[in-house]
Structure 1
Amino acid sequence: MVRVSHSFLLLSLLSLAVEVLGTDKYTRDDFPPGFVFGSGTSAYQVEGAANEDGRTPSIWDTYAHAGYANGDTGDVACDGYHKYKEDVQLMVDTGLDAYRFSISWSRLIPNGRGPVNPKGLQYYNNLIDELIGQGIQPHVTLQNYDLPQALEDEYGGWLNRKIVKDFTAYADVCFREFGDRVSYWTTVNEPNVFAIGGYDLGIAPPKYCSPPFGLNCSRGNSSSEPYIAVHYLLLAHASTARLYRKRYQGKQHGFIGVSVYAYGFVPLTNSMEDVSATQRAQDFIIGCVAHPLVFGDYPSIMKKNVGSRLPAFTDHESELVKGSTDFLAVIHYITFSIKDNSGSLEFKQRDFNMDMAAKIIIERDNSSEGLLKPWGLQGVLEYFKQVYGNPPIYIYENGLGQRNPGNSSLEDTSRVEYLQAYIGSLLNAVRNGSNARGYFQWSFLDVFELLDGYGSNYGMYYVDHHDPDLKRYPKLSAHWYSHFLKGGSINSTQVMKLEKITSVTSVSTLNSV
């Protein structure tokens, strides 16, 4: 294990904030040969058909129907279940190399275990075949916040060790049925944020929390359950990876990984207290997943601060988890400043954030710099390079959310500026030796979002929910990304040029950009 001085590393990352790292002019040819560019969605956010063809509810259905997502649900979403051919054609028109999506466990295996639903199997086979037939590489996530409600009701889902066996059996079905055409698998999506949101703060499914840390939860223990959930998520991933490598990888020649939500963190000040707090934040937020995957155990500061509330890996489990990824998928949107909060450790009752003893400063800044901190992505990739041995990395989510004004504007100039800056920062990281191998913009369509349903959007394509056919319209960002993917030079004048064509909503205009 390579040891890096924490203070030196974090101060080096902080220096990125004052450098001009946004690449002003580039093309996709500046990236290495084979570098993959795509976009993504997830099952509950895009498919709809929530009650059709044998699908049963997931914990996300339950959460949404309780009114926690702005009163919206994914019952219809973008109706990707019926409109997948149209959407794949949009991907072709845009010029995507790859598409990242997730499989709905409760659509494929409605009871969580047991018989496979033939209609669900047919849908995913059709989607994968359509992608492959159009030359688009599928990247598949097995679980994205949507555990079958049947398993949650039966034994508590991710809080029970039984989930490891059931998840592995579900993955086995996916590998067996789809692995001849799918080469890139991620097991669970952002287990770190899923555990914090779902089991500490109670702001995500399955909405477990306890006072004073979470609000309006009817069950849960914020002091211990986030750690239990992360532990079983890691063990389920490791068990699944072992199965894949033993039974499928040799003949299917694919790769398996897990995604990590990675904020950019920099110290609020140059004080050693804030620098140390920033390292704690990295160890808790990123390290709770990445450390076991690379080194076989949780970071020492987590074990010290959490104590007996943090589950321990047996020697066998440690060996199973360590090295269980062929790649890491990084999810990154934003960079925060960190302030020391060591005083929180004096409290007897603590949750994840208090154990971390670091305060995340949410800056209320409406300037362009408040939104555009592309150096944060380069800092995250540099951190993975220096601390975790520079593993192969795919950026599986990166994008800008905007409040939906009702009639969503197609001239999403700020999103274009965001993508231009962050892809430029990614290029800088690659030039600096990062082993990043792909980038996926989030999201392809305006999908159902976790926290506020249709109240915000990240999509390159606007979906008109007032239209019975849910017609898709390309935004400025779709034109910009298409221009980039098809080899066009990226610079600030290109944004102004593209703004002139957003009033033309025909998808065919993508081919003329």
Structure 2
Amino acid sequence: MGMEYEKIHACSNDCLLYQNECEDLDECSVCHESWWKKVRLYGPMYLMWMYLFERYVKILKAYFKNRNRPEGCVMESYIAKEAVEFCSEYLSNAEAIGLQNKVDSDGATVIDFRKIGYKNDPFILATQVKQVFYTTDPNDLELSLVVLMKSRDIRDGEGDADDCNCIPSVSRGLTPVDEVDVFDDDDSNLVRLDVEWTYGTRSGGVNRDGIDYYNNLINELLSNGLEPFVTLFHWDLPQALQDTYGGFLSPKIVDDFKDYAELCYREFGDRVKHWIPINEPHIFTTRGYEYGSFAPGRCSPWLSPDCNGGDSATEPYLVGHNQLLVHAAAVQVYKTKYQNTQKGQIGIALNVPWVVPLSQSIADQEASNRALVFTYDWFMEPLKSGSYPAEMTTYVGERLPKFSEEQSSMLKGSFDFIGLNYYSASYAANGTCKRINPRASTDSCVVHLSERNGTTIGPKAASDWLYIYPKGIEDLLLYTRDKFNNPVVYITENGVDELNNGQLSLNDNIRVNYYADHLSFVQRAIRKGANVRGYFAWSLLDNFEWADGYTVRFGIVYVDYKDGLRRYLKDSAKWFKQFLL
């Protein structure tokens, strides 16, 4: 059934009908016209076959109600394709609003590509749009882990679903089908694409329809002159793996992820030249297993009675450890079996808020360094040396897992580039180490503050955690240059948000200034020798922001959630358009 389907079969429930449920019906379709409108918004339905990894055949069969006919229905999202079309047609025709590019002390524009060898070594400017697909089928055993998080974990999750046409049923949960991050540059084009684990595989088997979808999407991107950067894990763990062995709490995750990664290399690697196996491991680790605010919602009972079990003192380190091993395994299989013929590169994307000492005291300076160690170096140092930072070993002690010699060797140097996600900064002061109820965020013995002497470190954005501090991106790049042997770096996320107040607001000078200032400091870092090759702005479209839901807007394009997702250029989009001329 495709987009041209005209008939609607009525039934008593708002649900998807599986093939074996439709044998006595005249039409096997979608229930109710209201449901069909949602299907029309997100894409068509059609039958799906599963192609199996041999070692998972028995497990997969256990999920079939009718084991002789393992057909099902799948819904795909065409929002990604629409985003590409939007960039190539709508945004390219927009008129510049006449904003002047900033100039530096030399009188050059903030990003003067001629001064940084743009034509010979492209500095790629791109942006991101995050689109989320929602499912309301309670019998879908292949949902991502994030699906089962309660609406309490979404800031606007208790609102009426009718308030937003893009949310069929918040109460049933959510799952991102794909994230496509797009922007068009006349000279150099780049796109970030997240493959959803459950969309490429099903209970250990290959979902051929999902593979075909991503093949078509990648081809569509390339035909539009957009080079894909592909992320394999952006926190969408298959629920079956969480239920079977605890997901990233178990070393079993390594083999399963390796199978999934190799599938992607084999199917897409002839066209994909940049791979990111893991995105923001620190956030997944701390928010999911220390605070319990993200899926799977685990934390110590003393921290929150709403958590789904957990231990905030040990589980974050175990999950972080296994994410590093997953990354290393994914890199190893790529480098040994695919890189030589496919000629691609592979790396990791790490979120790093910058930290400034609260005072010039030695104690506060050491505290700011420890804060970076417990966020950035936690994952970066093992990729450089094969070991955890010495400070973490000292402060965490036996709760910090250890790498075997084989694991250490596999981790060391397991990247071709590093992706850095930078948004904000804070002050750091030396704090008292907590011996009772320790947890990952307090093990560093650092107190994080947003202000000093009554003045914030920078203007506050809509999100509670986001304070605008442009110099931090330069400091981070120079820290990376000096401490980690100046690796190839892509700024894989950078942006600022405003509150979603229900008003159509296109005047976002705060965002224009944010990007102009941050790009200026990126240029300064490049001139000082930082090996920066590209920049992604977050984000092209207003989007779903995890625990914040739709309460904030990060896009340079306004999305009207109450009017069929209509889009309007903000001033920042027009600024970027002129900036790229």
- What's the TM-score once normalised by structure 2's chain length? 0.73
State the secondary structure of the residue aligned to 2:191.
strand
Matched, 1:99 2:183: no
Letter paired with 2:322: Y
Percent identity between the aligned chains?
Answer: 35
**In angstroms, what is the RMSD of aligned CA positions?**
2.9
Q: State the Cα deviation string for residues 450-486 of structure 1 (Å, max 9, x = none).
A: 1211000111111111123x22221111111121122
- What's the TM-score once normalised by structure 1's chain length? 0.83
Matched, 1:171 2:261: yes
- Partner in structure 1 of residue 123 of structure 2: 35
Letter paired with 2:206: V
Q: State the Cα deviation string for residues 386-420 of structure 1 (Å, max 9, x = none).
A: 11111101000000011111134111110111000
348-357 or 383-392: bigger deviation? 348-357
- Partner in structure 1 of residue 368 of structure 2: 278
- Partner in structure 1 of residue 440 of structure 2: 352
Instruction: Report 1:412-451 matches (<5 A).
Output: 412-451=508-547
Matched, 1:394 2:480: no
- Partner in structure 2 of residue 495 of structure 1: none
- Partner in structure 2 of residue 231 of structure 1: 321
Maintained 8 Å contact 2:197/2:237:
yes
- Partner in structure 2 of residue 9 of structure 1: none
- Partner in structure 2 of residue 465 of structure 1: 561
Q: State the Cα deviation string for residues 344-399 of structure 1 (Å, max 9, x = none).
A: 24x14310122110011123868965544211000000110111111101000000
Matched, 1:382 2:478: yes
State the alpha-carbon separation in 2 of the partners of residues 80 and 307 from structure 1.
37
State the secondary structure of the residue aligned to 2:143.
coil
Measured at CA, do residues 55 and 444 of structure 1 come closer, stay the same or move farther in structure 2, by a change above 3 Å?
farther
Measured at CA, do residues 59 and 69 of structure 1 come closer, stay the same or move farther in structure 2, by a change above 3 Å?
farther
Once the two structures are TM-superposed, the CA of residue 434 in structure 1 deviates from its matched residue by: 0.2
Maintained 8 Å contact 2:153/2:294:
no
- Partner in structure 1 of residue 89 of structure 2: none
Match 1:332 to one of 422, 428, 431: 422
Maintained 8 Å contact 1:22/1:424:
no
Q: State the Cα deviation string for residues 32-80 of structure 1 (Å, max 9, x = none).
A: 3211111124xxx41415469x893212222264553420799947999
- Partner in structure 2 of residue 48 of structure 1: 133
- Partner in structure 2 of residue 26 of structure 1: 110
Measured at CA, do residues 83 and 328 of structure 1 come closer, stay the same or move farther in structure 2, by a change above 3 Å?
closer
Once the two structures are TM-superposed, the CA of residue 96 in structure 1 deviates from its matched residue by: 6.8
58-67 or 171-180: bigger deviation? 58-67
Maintained 8 Å contact 2:110/2:516:
no
**Structure of larger gyration radius:** 2
Matched, 1:138 2:228: yes
State the secondary structure of the residue aligned to 1:193.
helix
Measured at CA, do residues 367 and 477 of structure 1 come closer, stay the same or move farther in structure 2, by a change above 3 Å?
farther
- Partner in structure 1 of residue 149 of structure 2: 63
Higher helix share: 1
Q: State the Cα deviation string for residues 140-198 of structure 1 (Å, max 9, x = none).
A: 11011111111111111110111011011111111111111111110111101210111
Letter paired with 1:440: F
Maintained 8 Å contact 1:293/1:322:
yes
Once the two structures are TM-superposed, the CA of residue 81 in structure 1 deviates from its matched residue by: 9.7
State the secondary structure of the residue aligned to 2:448.
strand
Letter paired with 1:396: T
Larger RCO (alpha carbons 8 Å, 6+ apart): 1
Structure 1 unmatched ranges of 5 or more: 1-19, 487-513
State the alpha-carbon separation in 1 of the partners of residues 573 and 427 from structure 2.
31
State the alpha-carbon separation in 1 of the partners of residues 185 and 498 from structure 2.
24
